[in-house]
Every structure is written in C-alpha cells, then in structure tokens.
Amino acid sequence: MSKNMVRCAILGLACILVACVGRGFAAQKTTLKLSHDYAIDGVVDRAMKHFASEVDRLSDGQMTVEIYPGGVLGTWRECLEAMEFGTVDMVAESLGTLEPYCKLAGLEGAPYLYKDEAHFYRVWDGPVGAEVIEEIVRQTNRRFLNVMWRGARQLATVKPVENLADLKGLKVRVPPEETYIRTWKALGANPTPMSLSEVFTALQQRVIEGVEQPINVMLEESWMDVCKNLIMTYHAAEPFGIIMWEPTFKRLSKDSQAILSDAAHLTTEWMRMTIANEEKEALDAIKAMGVKVVYPDLEPFREAGSKTVLTPEVQKWADKVREVE
C-alpha cells in the first residue's frame, strides 16, 4: 500500500471517529428536575409544563425538564437547600424565598412597591430588576431565569374585615420571610409564618384567621371553602419565577443556557396572558361561592405599610423600584 493510500485510510478513519463521537455527544440528553409547592394543574403547574414543553421543543428533545408538583420533593425551602446536592435543579418560587441567603430578597415583601402590573414589568424587565437578580446570584448561587407576575396579593379571612382597623391582632398566615412578617405587623395584624401545605387545615381549625396570596392561588388551594371574606388589599406582587442552581446552569453549554433562558421568557409571556384571562374568572368563581368581596379604602393601608421597618439594603432598592417610571 502506498503512503498516500495509508494517509487516506487514516484520514478516513479519523473522520469516522469524529462523526461517531459527535453523534455520541448529541445523543447525550440533559434531564433537569423542577419542584414547586403548588396545586397540580393550577396556574403555576401549567406554567411549568409550558416551560418544559418549550425546553423540549427548542432543544429538539435533547433537554428534558421533569416537574414535581405539590411539594412532593419537599417544601420550597427544602428544595432550595437540595439544589446544593444536585437532587433538585430548579424551584418555581418567588424572590422572597431566597431571603435566608440574601437580605435583598426580602424586597418582595415590602408593601405597595408597584403602581400596577405594567410598572412591575418595567422594573423587572429593566436595569433595576437586572441589578437585583445579579446581586441575588452573587450572594446565593441561585439564578432567576425569568420574573413573572402572578397577580396582586390580596387577603382572605374567616372573619369579616372591612377596613385597616379590623386587621388589629388578626392571625394572618405569611411566608416564613422576615419582610412579610414586618409588613403585616405594620398593618396591625398578627403574622403567623407557615408553609402552604398547612394553610387549609390551619384555617379550618382557626389556628390562623386569614391568608394572603393572589386570588388564583386562593381558589386553587380551596381556601375559599373556609374563608368567606376576600379583602382586595393589593398590598404586594411578588417577583415569581424559575430559580436554578447557578453552578448547574454554568456547567451547561452556552446553547443549553440560551434554550433555558428563551423557554423561561416564553413562559413569562404565557403567564402574562393567562393571568389576565383567569384572574377575572377566579374572582367571579369566588363571588359565586358566596364570598363577600370588600374593596376597602387603600390609603390607610398604604400609610400603615409605609411604616414597615425594612433593612437598609431592602429600603435602598425599594426606593429605586418606586422611582422607576
């Protein structure tokens, strides 16, 4: 065999090996586990299914997101911890859940930050929101892939509430986050930290007398079966999204990172349209259950909320948020 023929044979073999290795890498699929605490087929669960579908589509089936709803892998706090050990890759939750790792995340619970939904998105789609997210990543090793509006948080109660004075001493379930606790103290209530899974029974047994969440969540979690009063306080709107363990995100290829980011932002748009349609339907359904819906004068609520004692870091960024035009 001539030298040229040997060279050609070696070159041909090398090309075959490269092609085989390339196909081997292409065949390697990435599977990511996503956990959330919310009701199966509720709006959060459906949003996460939309996200998983978009990831599958954009990656041509090479990336899979497995969804574990209803807290089956543990509470959001347990799952945020589990990220460090690789047993959970993503958690669908709000900014405030990261407050144990970063005081700035307490920004979520600061009352009356946003004028409306449009203002919320101007904040989180703009430079102020981007700076907050990057600082959260730096301090917590947890990245928000997107920020979604789930609707303004309202108050549901088992006893009548007509105005701010009626909140005095009311036992209100709040997330186990310091800023929420401080806010509801400023509003005159008795804030009671508790996981979502405990709320229904606690309402039935009068361990708590109220709970605050977007009305979609109240309906999906069946709390309105017990609470026959809905007070439209509009006191907060949490930045909610898909939180991912940053080292896991960084280990992915740039293409895979882009796929997750694009899928997350498509999910934000899905949520935006869905909430707009379903919030009114949820309110109509709640009224049909015989629930009394109260629209109190919000000025006393805002004034009381302004007295919430925030940490210096949260106060600084709360001021920046309110200044966004």
Amino acid at 133: I
pTM of the predicted model, to two decimals?
0.84
Q: What is the DSSP string of 109-166?
A: GSTT--SSHHHHHHHHTSHHHHHHHHHHHHHHSEEES--B----EEEEESS---SGGG
**Quick one: pLDDT at residue 197?**
87
Are both 29-150+239-280 and 153-237+290-323 of the same fold? yes
Model confidence over 228-254: pLDDT tens digits?
Answer: 999 999 999 999 999 999 999 999 999
Sketch the domain layout of the chain as residue ranges: 29-150+239-280, 153-237+290-323
The CATH number given to 29-150+239-280 is 3.40.190.170
Amino acid at 275: I
Determine contact, residues 217/150, Cβ cutoff 8 Å. Answer: yes
Q: What is the DSSP string of 42-97?
A: SHHHHHHHHHHHHHHHHTTTSEEEEEE-TTTT--HHHHHHHGGGTS--EEEEEGGG
**Quick one: pLDDT at residue 147?**
97
What does pLDDT average to over the chain?
91
**Quick one: pLDDT at residue 28?**
76
% pLDDT > 90, the chain: 89
**Quick one: pLDDT at residue 24?**
35
The CATH number given to 153-237+290-323 is 3.40.190.170
The whole-number average pLDDT for the span 64-88 is 95
Q: With 70 as the cut, is the pLDDT of residue 19 above it? A: no
CB proximity list for 62: less than 8 A, separation 6 or greater: 26, 28, 29, 30
**Quick one: pLDDT at residue 111?**
95
Band of pLDDT at residue 9, cut at 50, 70 and 90: very low
